């Protein structure tokens, strides 16, 4: 992990975000989108797209807290986290596990850390620097 000033904050935020993703992964989406107002959101494969976007976000989020040469650590964690979600979904009767979900998760992790490598990585240091400057003004 990077040498961050507000490490406790980032760790708590990580935990809360992962809990949120886990809880949302257990929601039965058909009941969530039964409302006619949400019909425009449905397209074939929307769940795979949501997996990809979610894991891409998680990867970019974590790329802000790790050195580039250590991206493999949160990447492995996220892949295991995605597998854990699929195992839990397999165990409950209103969700299904899907290998394509794991594939979408993996693509999201790859794309997210590529975004980190392209320049967004370490964003937490920049955010902390901005916060520190704002507080000192």
Q: Does 9 map to a domain?
A: no
* Nearest-angstrom CA–CA distance, 50 and 13: 21
In the structure encoding, which two tokens stand for residue 15, read together? 């935990």
State how many domains the chain has. Answer: 1
Q: Does 26 map to a domain?
A: no
Q: Does 30 map to a domain?
A: no
Q: Does 22 map to a domain?
A: no
Kindly indicate the confidence band of residue 39, based on its pLDDT and cuts at 50, 70 and 90.
low
Start-end of H helices in the chain: 7-25, 29-32, 46-63, 72-91, 99-115, 123-136
Q: Does 7 map to a domain?
A: no
CA distances for 52 relative to 14, 79, 92, angstroms: 18, 12, 22
Stated pTM of the model = 0.88
Which pLDDT value is given to residue 89?
A: 92
- Its domain, for residue 60, covers 46-137
Q: Does 11 map to a domain?
A: no
Q: Does 66 map to a domain?
A: yes
Give tens-digit pLDDT for 42-55.
566 778 999 999 99
Contacts 24+ apart (CB under 8 A), 6-10: 6/128, 6/131, 10/65, 10/124
Q: Does 59 map to a domain?
A: yes
Give tens-digit pLDDT for 66-110.
999 999 999 999 999 999 999 999 999 888 888 999 999 999 999
Average pLDDT of the chain to the nearest whole number: 90
Half-sphere exposure of 116 (CA within 13 A, CB side): 29
């Amino acid at each position: 992990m990077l040498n961050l000033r507000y490490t406790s904050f980032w760790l708590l935020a990580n935990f809360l975000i992962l809990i949120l993703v886990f809880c949302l992964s257990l929601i039965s989406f058909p009941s969530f989108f039964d409302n006619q107002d949400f019909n425009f959101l449905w397209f074939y494969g929307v769940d795979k797209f949501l997996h990809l976007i979610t894991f891409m976000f998680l990867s970019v989020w974590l790329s802000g807290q790790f050195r580039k040469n250590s991206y493999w650590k949160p990447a492995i964690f996220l892949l295991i986290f995605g597998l854990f979600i699929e195992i839990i979904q397999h165990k409950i009767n209103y969700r299904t596990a899907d290998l394509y979900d794991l594939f979408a998760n993996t693509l999201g992790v790859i794309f997210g850390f590529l975004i980190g490598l392209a320049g967004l990585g370490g964003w937490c240091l920049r955010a902390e620097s901005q916060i520190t400057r704002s507080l000192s003004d």
